Amino acid sequence: MTRLSEYLLPTEKQPPADAEAISHKLMVRAGLVRQMGAGMWTWLPAGWRVHQRVVGIIREEMDAIGAQEMLMPVLQPAEPWRKTGRIEIEELFKLTDRKGSELVLAMTHEEAVTFHIAQAVRSYRDLPLIVYHFQVKERDEPRPRAGVLRTREFVMKDSYSFDRDQAGMEERYELHVGAYEKIMQRTGLRFYRVEGDVGMMGGLGAHEYMAPCAAGEDEVVLGSGYAANVEVALSSPGVEKRGEEYFKDGERLSIEPAIEIGNIFKLGTRYSEPLGATYLDETGVELPIWMASYGIGPARIVAAAVEQFADEHGISWPKALAPFAVHLVSLGKTGTPEREAADLVYATLLAGGVDVLYDDRDAGPGEKFADAELLGCPLRLTVGRKSLQDGEIEVQVRRGRQSAPALALDGQPAELIRAVDELWRSLP
């Protein structure tokens, strides 16, 4: 039951004093998230619904390329990280248990998954393989900022591919490129796939998925048929920097701030060799497994959507990510005919399978409309005294705050559901 009189949605009139990013301001004001400490955020019910919308899209596209979902622990022995040389990463949380055993809190899971594959894979017949999970990551971030964009704890989808050779790794990599393109398109985000730096991951190459927006902490260099982050651009053939401008083969490139929402890495044998992940080929020769890894952050996709589509009144979700399809507002107080009419509309929408949030609070119209625009559900339906007199349900499309043709208040339930469904299909 999603009645606002019973729902945990603590909206605020003012943003946090330290908030600079639009997503930070609006996600707190709309009651989607709350901060517990530096870089530590709680997702409240409506915010978690949005987060899980993203997770659902990612899961469907990962399953479609044959990836198998699993779950690995956040708390891990330090030894595999020592073998790969990543124990020295400053952002890695390190601790000891009561027996003095050294442990880490994983910021990514290459060591863990390679540890398991080294035990499970024996033959070339066991390959190729793709596995993935959604899991909490911990990062000793020195400067948490921008709400859920740069945190110390976050959920990430990370997947890992295992192949016999480089050609196989390239095939699995291209499968992920296709899956990521579909994920981004389904979320409704504007995005670029750019050449990236392998960084602490190591390996043979990387790409990053960037969502352009003013709050982005990364910069993307763009030209005809070319896209890279600034660091990679400077080392690319034909690219030079003149003052504050970039040129490639004489062409002036543009620079745009963006949020990194995903990255993919060709790891090669970077992890399989130190961790002993090998297989026997057709002739019985032992060879190292070729790997790639692929990360994507649901929270960053959520924040990027807020950044890209918000207006001066609040959030305006693309329909694939919205916490609810319909925000139903009753302008009548308990016991009034207009409240009874709104209750009936709510029951009809629920019975018809419509994902609806019902504002049945005894609050004023101004407060209700302000909260509806702040939360940003794609459709707002309003039942009040005037609409009751006219026999109509008022309709507003959140994107652009446009009025839509009214719906019949006393029509057949099936007609109301059909009309709402048609409106929904027409939305971005």
Q: Is the pLDDT of residue 129 over 70?
A: yes
Considering the domain architecture, whether residues 202 and 335 belong to the same structural domain is answered as: no
Considering the domain architecture, whether residues 279 and 174 belong to the same structural domain is answered as: yes
> Given pLDDT bands bounded at 50, 70 and 90, which one contains residue 203?
low
Burial of 296 (0-12, 13-18, 19+ CB in 10 A): buried
Secondary structure (3-state) at 327: strand
Mean pLDDT, to the nearest integer, of 388-415? 93
148-167 pLDDT per residue, tens:
999 999 999 999 999 999 99
> Given pLDDT bands bounded at 50, 70 and 90, which one contains residue 216?
confident
Percentage of residues in the chain with pLDDT exceeding 90?
86
Is the Cα dihedral 161, 164, 166, 168 positive or negative?
negative
- Mean pLDDT across the chain, nearest whole number? 95
More confident residue, 241 or 118: 118
234-264 pLDDT per residue, tens:
888 888 888 888 999 889 999 999 999 999 9
Strand pairing class (245-248; 218-223): unpaired
Residue 332: domain span: 326-425
15-25 pLDDT per residue, tens:
999 999 999 99
* Structural domain contains residue 17: no
Beta bridge partners, 264, equal 207, 294
- pLDDT of 232 reads 84
Considering the domain architecture, whether residues 235 and 355 belong to the same structural domain is answered as: no
Please give the Cα distance from 366 to 400 (Å, whole number): 19
Please give the Cα distance from 340 to 194 (Å, whole number): 54
Q: Is the pLDDT of residue 285 over 80?
A: yes
264, 265, 268: which is closest to 166 by C-alpha? 268
Last residue of a domain, one of 309, 343, 367: 309
Query: What CATH number is given to the structural domain containing 108?
Result: 3.30.930.10
More confident residue, 219 or 375: 375
Considering the domain architecture, whether residues 338 and 280 belong to the same structural domain is answered as: no
Structure tokens at 130: 């793709």
Last residue of a domain, one of 309, 343, 366: 309
Q: Is the pLDDT of residue 200 over 70?
A: no
Please calculate the CA angle 238-172-210 and round it to the nearest 5 degrees: 50
Considering the domain architecture, whether residues 288 and 341 belong to the same structural domain is answered as: no
- pLDDT of 123 reads 98
- Tell me which DSSP letter residue 285 carries: -
299-332 pLDDT per residue, tens:
999 999 999 999 999 999 999 999 999 999 999 8
- pLDDT of 228 reads 87
Please calculate the CA angle 76-80-83 and round it to the nearest 5 degrees: 155
Mean pLDDT, to the nearest integer, of 102-131? 98
209, 330, 221, 344: which is closest to 263 by C-alpha? 209
343-364 pLDDT per residue, tens:
999 999 999 999 999 999 999 9
| pTM, rounded to two decimals | 0.94
- pLDDT of 235 reads 82
* Structural domain contains residue 90: yes
- pLDDT of 234 reads 83
Considering the domain architecture, whether residues 278 and 414 belong to the same structural domain is answered as: no
Query: What CATH number is given to the structural domain containing 391?
Result: 3.40.50.800
* Structural domain contains residue 79: yes
Considering the domain architecture, whether residues 251 and 364 belong to the same structural domain is answered as: no
- pLDDT of 201 reads 64
> Given pLDDT bands bounded at 50, 70 and 90, which one contains residue 410?
confident
Percentage of residues in the chain with pLDDT exceeding 70?
99
Total domain count, the chain: 2
User: Residues 321, 54: contact at Cβ < 8 Å?
Assistant: yes
- pLDDT of 214 reads 86
Mean pLDDT, to the nearest integer, of 36-44? 97
Q: Is the pLDDT of residue 279 over 80?
A: yes
